[in-house]
Amino acid sequence: MDEADFRRAADAAIEELTQELYAAEDEGGFEVEEQSGALYVIFEKPAGKFVITPNAPVQQIQFSLIDNGTIIGMYLFIPGFNETEIAWKEIGYLLLDEALGEYDVETKLGPISVLSPDSDQAGERFPLNELPEIFDRHVLTLQNRAKGFVQVRRPN
């Protein structure tokens, strides 16, 4: 199944699920919200939240880069992240090692924070599969800045 077929099937399934959840909301002890293309099912007792997105699994893990002009930091958003479980942070570092290579993570990446996707941390988010290209572009920009070069971009 290609990305377009996946998207069509996911959109149809989520729309059907949304209608069924809204119909059961009063009796089910939960509330349904739609935000930014995701479906949130919020439970009262026990308190909890399910987030359902139409994204392929590789796009559910997202990142946001922080550039202070000298070093690149990162927020890594992992579904199911729980601050009290150290394994989530280890998983985050393993994902970064796989996406960028251990050398780049250790030598070119500054502070890393692993967060839940429903965190209100500001910054544009990208799917993890876009990390190598975006990261390399930022690294090159920082290197050129340090050398006094200005990167000229071709107009779109």
* Predicted local confidence at residue 1, as pLDDT: 66
pLDDT values of the chain reduced to their tens digit, one per residue, 156 residues: 677 887 788 788 888 888 888 888 888 888 898 876 778 888 877 777 777 877 666 568 899 999 887 889 999 998 878 788 778 888 889 899 999 999 999 999 999 999 988 888 888 999 998 999 999 999 888 888 777 665 556 566
* Predicted local confidence at residue 59, as pLDDT: 64
What's the Cα-to-Cα distance from 10 to each of 3, 5, 124, 125, 128, rounded to whole Å?
Answer: 10, 8, 23, 21, 19
What's the Cα-to-Cα distance from 23 to each of 5, 18, 28, 75, 96, rounded to whole Å?
Answer: 28, 9, 9, 36, 41
Phi, psi for residue 13 in degrees, rounded to 5 = -65, -40
Q: Quick one: which of 43, 40, 44 has its CA closest to 14?
A: 40
Structural domain boundaries in the chain: 3-54, 59-147
> How many whole angstroms from its chain centre is CA 69?
23
* Predicted local confidence at residue 149, as pLDDT: 62
